Amino acid sequence: MKIYIALVHYPVLNRKGETITSAVTNLDIHDIARVAATYDLEAYFIVTPLMEQQELVRELTGHWIDGGSPNSDRKTALSMVRITPSIDETCKQIEAETGSCPLVIATTARHRNKTVGWTELRTKVEAAQELNEHASMLLLFGTASGLAEPVFEQVSGVLEPIEPQRLYNHLSVRSAVAITLDRLLGNCR
């Protein structure tokens, strides 16, 4: 199974629950790219409709990819970054590469309808990899205060929260991506 991730900057929520477009951050670009490379993902999409933010991502990744940096590990990781204006466009790009629509799974820190358990999703990924299936999956991660409601209405499933019973439940998206990929693709159980 080909695994893709997307860091969604629109549509996401602010602290008041309003739908916004969040700003791209340098740390998210670098750190998530490194995690994506570590777990051999197909690509890491940054989803933002704002042209200025798209250009910022191109500039930052271009510095490491084309700028002649001696840090080849960083170049490898940042080469995985792709920019799309929407989740729909991300799915179209994956479909063009794989020949079929990806299974789209959203992530959140709250319980939602269409919940998919960690074990269930890991088993599905492992089964597809063992059978060498050409299926693909796109994991959506929201920035700001999380993905907006319309996203949850369009996905195939919503991964159960990482630690829903904790009093403090607000991981950075970089941490959430790392934990999620390790739980789904890591060697330890």
Looking at residue 67, its pLDDT comes to: 75
Res 68: pLDDT: 62
**Average predicted confidence (pLDDT) for the chain:** 93
How much is the pLDDT for 165? 85
Nearest to 8 by CA among 102, 141, 170: 141
* Residue 60, Ramachandran bin (φ over 0: left; ψ between -120 and 50: alpha; else beta): alpha
Number of domains, the chain? 1
pLDDT digits (tens, 9 = 90+) for 25-84: 999 999 999 999 999 999 999 999 999 999 999 999 998 888 766 777 888 999 999 999
The CATH number covering residue 154 comes to 3.40.1280.10
Is a pLDDT exceeding 60 seen at residue 4? Answer: yes
Contact (CB, 8 A) for 75 and 65: yes
Q: Give the range of the structural domain holding residue 152, as residue numbers without chain letter.
A: 2-185
Phi and psi dihedrals of 150, rounded to 5?
Answer: -55, -30
For residue 124, pLDDT over 80 is answered with: yes
Angle of helix 51-65 versus helix 26-38 axis, rounded to 10: 60
32/133: higher pLDDT: 32
To which residue do tokens 């994991």 refer? 139
Q: What is the pLDDT of residue 73?
A: 80
Tell which residue, 123, 117, 119, 125, has the closest CA to residue 161: 117
Mean pLDDT, range 111-136, rounded to an integer: 89
Q: What is the pTM of this model?
A: 0.95
Which residue, among 162, 157, 155, 156, has the nearest Cα to 178 in the 3D structure? 162
